[in-house]
Amino acid sequence: MDYKECWDYQETLFNETVAQKIANRNLEPHLQIPTKNHLLFVEHPNVYTLGKSGDASHLLINEIELEEKNATYYKINRGGDITYHGPGQLVGYPILDLDYFLTDIHKYLRLLEETIILTLDEYGIKAGRSNGETGVWLDADDVFKARKICAMGVRCSRWVTMHGWGFNVNSNLDYFKNIIPCGIQDKAVTSLNKELGHDVDLNEMKEKLKKHFSQLFECELITV
């Protein structure tokens, strides 16, 4: 799905949830309508997105070069710096009312990271975290080998989330050469197919992610 089209869809679901939370404040508890929670999976055409705290100079190509590479660029309302989305990257957008789960944005991010870490473990890949750098990493403690396999950036307002993760499964990593990923200059980017030496079935990947997400967030996922 086109990035802007999906962003607009996220905003619609996000705004519906926030509006329901506000409306519930004026209702007796037995009349309140539960908010809905969503987990979206998507692949985007080639696109670079810059978070609200990001540095535009971390995009290393101009508008003409973007067009030549068949890529687009958006400044958006999530946290974090610049990242790339494209075919073969499995993007996850949880749109959750954290009042049902946990009102702690840092723990929320750690649970998202753990979802990816546990999924990678099923493929024999040992992943972890890098101190002070949100996302999922391989060999994070080795300055010469550290590489990011999953970037994360979220927005949270009234304890409702949007945006999420970009998990490099079968990604074309050449597109990362056009940015300083997440504003981090001294660490590389990798993908699961690069680590394994072969592509991975994305539908199989989605099932593994859903399993770990539902366990960590103690919820039941219903496919719509």
At 184 the pLDDT is 64
pLDDT digit string (tens) for 69-82?
999 999 999 988 89
What's the confidence (pLDDT) of residue 79? Answer: 86
Q: Which long-range contacts (CB under 8 A, 24 or more apart) does 215-220 make?
A: 216/111, 216/114, 216/115, 216/118, 217/96, 217/101, 217/111, 218/101, 219/37, 219/101
Span 105-128, pLDDT tens digits: 999 999 999 999 999 999 999 999
What pLDDT band is residue 44 in, cutting at 50, 70 and 90?
Answer: very high
Give the mean model confidence (pLDDT) for residues 59-76: 94
- All domains of the chain in start order, with CATH: 3-216 (3.30.930.10)
The question of whether 150 is a catalytic residue gets the answer no
pLDDT one-digit tens code per residue, 166-223: 999 999 999 999 988 766 666 799 999 999 999 999 999 999 999 999 999 999 999 9
Residues in CB range of 112: below 8 A, 6 or more apart: 92, 94, 152, 154, 164, 165
Q: Which pLDDT value is given to residue 214?
A: 98
For the chain, give the mean pLDDT: 95
What's the confidence (pLDDT) of residue 143? 86
Position 181 scores a pLDDT of 74
